[in-house]
Chain A
Amino acid sequence: MNKPKTFHLDTLSLHAGARPDPATGARATPIYQTASFVFPDSDHAAALFNMERAGHVYSRISNPTVAVLEERIAALEGGVGAIGTASGQAALHLAIVTLIGAGGHIVASRSLYGGSHNLLDYTLPRFGVEAAFVNTRDIDAWRDAIRPNTRLLFGETLGNPGLDVLDIPRIADLAHEHGLPLLVDATFTTPYLSRPFEQGADLIFHSATKFLSGHGVVIGGLLVDSGKFDWNADPSRDKFPTLTQPYRGFHDMVFSEESTTGAFLLRARREGIRDFGACMSPFTAFQILQGIETLPLRMQKHVANTRRIVAFLSEHPMVAAVGYPELPDHPDHALAQRLLPLGCGAVFSFNLKASRTQGRKFIESLNVFSHLANVGDAKSLVIHPASTTHFRMSTHDLTQAGITEGTIRLSVGLEDADDLIEDLSRALYASGKA
């Protein structure tokens, strides 16, 4: 039988979640810059508070502009819904605290964004949540690290900064064998390059600051639920009590009874966003919506430019190694061809054959690339991870994560690729003279 017609990614990027504004006819999604929403009457107010009616009460909990973005990312990822958060970090935190309390344990890839590593390795242990970090490519290490109190497996579609490709199908199978969900940070790939739910992941989060918004103007995060994971599968119902047992903080609601597929997001919104309060502002949501409208076009250009630059650097005598999974010598080359056929993103690292001083000279000689701590901007960016994003990590941990003193990370933007290559070429020359 033929597949029914559904909208493609390009169309969803422009339309999903949005309708012309019913009050004004505005075609663009309005910025509902309001803290609260007027109740028609007291009964309606009570019904909204008690989840008997749908709607908005207070913009910390939900907001119409943010809701359009939440629907849009859920549509693009193929999930059931999403929650907009104040940052990608807030989205990761929200995912964890919705599922895990003191005594819980997470198994995570070793190749994480430095901020995620900070949260898991240094901060969450203060609250009784521990994490084990494993070699992304070592399935046995993932398996061996799972304990009776493990509640979540976590990795990045493309690890930071070595671009380890997360073998989502295998890790998801392992997670599910143990009755655990797999959370994936898909910031580097976006739904244009990777759809982790289709490969078996259960939860996704994005730093929407990056490619989704695409212009480096906002800080925001998105947490998306596939709705596939069966939180009740454990007969004792003790494994995920936040979802399967009565919650005193909301009239003894059992979230998995309230919603078969949306229990996680219900709890995340009704507890995590309500109590921790790391919500997204409507203006931020508007900016990210504008960005997503051109996501497919931008990602094509990001990847095309990256391929040109990777090819240039791979041939350059001052470059010791380039870590991009499309290169045949990358350890995950075959996996990337299978899981990321449209490209491996626009953030990658390379190692200079240079001293620390020469490395600094290289970065300071760039004119088009901006030296700053971000990725996924329309403008090209550069940073030295060992002295910035990953500076808290020990030398041993840096090595384990594939970072050296000479590692340079690029985020390739949308400029003309010839201009970017000329900028890099000149800076490499200057570095060699230093």
Chain B
Amino acid sequence: MRLTLDDGDVYAYAGARAHDAALRTVVFVHGAANDHSVWALQSRYFAHHGFNVLAVDLPGHGRSDGAALGSVDAIADWIPRVLDAAKIDRAAVVGHSMGSLATLACAARYPERVRKIALIGPAVPMPVSDTLLAAAKEDDHVAFEWINGWSHSAGKQVGGNQVPGMWMTGSALRLMERTRPGVLHTDLVACHTYSTGLEAAKDVRCSTLVILGGRDVMAPNRNARALIEALSDKRSVTFQDTGHALMAEQPDAVLDALREFL
């Protein structure tokens, strides 16, 4: 569905379902240089199992208008505006990577709007190397290739996608290649400069689920330990032999963890 904000239209995948005010809502927030389709299986499941779903394309990404938001806090401030446009008071928010940081910040800044949060592949801090930032700034294709390599566990570099017939790393690379010029750099800067994650975690009052990949190179697990420690009402699960692309590598396990939590 398309939602109209005062600075442009937003696309949100809703599972081909009309909004039902009687149902709870889940918002899915993707990571850098991605779009709503990274949640394809999970978002479709919830849309057909008693939830309203808004799997958004962030501004500047996918089918949404506008420029990419320049900071994690800016994305956090944007999420309630999407809820306003959809006439939704409260929602659970699920975020991946950069989206997990925005989800964390949103829960801290807008506790009245956020019912629960799930953080998938978070890291606080989430530093980005100067080399990668430089490549992204030049829109050098190698930036996508590096991210793709770091985001998938070694096993998945070979294959074994649970989705029949789909080449996981090829699909992920092709999705990133659709990113508009400059957007990857903006996203990576947002991750790199987000410095208030632990303070935000302390301010979160809702229940939090943290899902980690045991072989995450892009956002190493060690950078999630302090975050988990700082959260009050939390649970965490780590999928072994899984990289940063958790929804792709472990679609059913991620879904089951979310089902149990949400």
Contacts and interface: CB of A to CB of B under 8 A. Distances in A.
Interface of A: 1, 3-7, 15-19, 47, 50-56, 61-64, 66-68, 70-72, 74-75, 78-84, 226-228, 230, 232, 246, 251-254, 257-262, 265, 269
A68 B159 contact: yes
Size bracket, chain B contacts: 35 or more
Contacts, number: 149
Interface stretch (B92-100, B111-119, B161-169): B161-169
Interface of B: 13, 16, 35-37, 40-41, 44-45, 48-49, 62-63, 131, 134-135, 140, 142, 145-146, 148-149, 155, 157-167, 170-171, 174-175, 177-178, 251-252, 255
B137 to A, nearest CB: 12
A235 to B, nearest CB: 12
A15 B158 contact: yes
Contacts of A7: 157-158
A52 B155 contact: no
12 contacts: A1-B146, A4-B146, A7-B157, A17-B161, A19-B155, A54-B161, A61-B164, A70-B166, A74-B167, A251-B16, A260-B37, A260-B178
Contact of B159 (A6, A19, A55, A252): A19
B159 A72 contact: yes
Given A52-B44, A62-B165, A260-B178, A227 B159 contact: no
A66 B166 CA distance: 11
Given A17-B160, A252-B16, A81 B167 contact: yes
B181 to A, nearest CB: 16
A53 B45 contact: yes
Contacts of B162: 54-55
Contacts of A228: 174, 177
Contact of A54 (B49, B134, B146, B163): B163
A265 B165 contact: yes
B135 to A, nearest CB: 5
B36 to A, nearest CB: 8
Contacts of A50: 44, 48
A70 B149 contact: no
A74 B149 CA distance: 17
Given A18-B158, A54-B252, A3 B145 contact: yes
Contact of B170 (A53, A80, A260): A80
B192 to A, nearest CB: 17
Contacts of A66: 164-165
A266 to B, nearest CB: 9
A54 B251 contact: yes
- The secondary-structure label for the interface of chain A is loop
A260 B176 CA distance: 11
Given A15-B159, A53-B252, A54-B252, A74 B44 contact: no
A253 B43 CA distance: 13
Given A51-B44, A269-B165, A261 B131 contact: no
Contacts of B35: 260
Given A3-B145, A7-B158, A253-B16, A261 B167 contact: no
Nearest to A84: B165
B235 to A, nearest CB: 23
Nearest to B150: A4
Contacts of A254: 16
A53 B36 CA distance: 17
A298 B237 CA distance: 47
Given A52-B45, A53-B41, A74-B170, A261 B165 contact: no
A71 B171 contact: no
B166 A71 contact: yes
Contacts of B149: 4-6
Contact of B142 (A4, A61, A62, A232): A4
A307 to B, nearest CB: 33
Residue among A15, A18, A50 facing the most chain B CB atoms (10 A cut-off): A50
Nearest to B11: A257
Given A19-B159, A19-B160, A71-B166, A261 B145 contact: no
B174 A261 contact: yes
A214 to B, nearest CB: 21
B140 A52 contact: no
A67 B131 CA distance: 37
Contact of A19 (B131, B158, B165, B174): B158
Nearest to A5: B149
A261 B44 contact: no
B162 to A, nearest CB: 4
Given A71-B160, A258-B40, 20 more contacts: A4-B148, A15-B158, A16-B159, A17-B159, A17-B161, A17-B167, A51-B40, A51-B44, A52-B41, A52-B45, A53-B251, A64-B164, A75-B159, A79-B167, A226-B174, A227-B171, A257-B16, A260-B175, A261-B175, A265-B166
A67 B167 contact: no
Given A51-B44, A53-B41, A54-B252, A82 B165 contact: yes
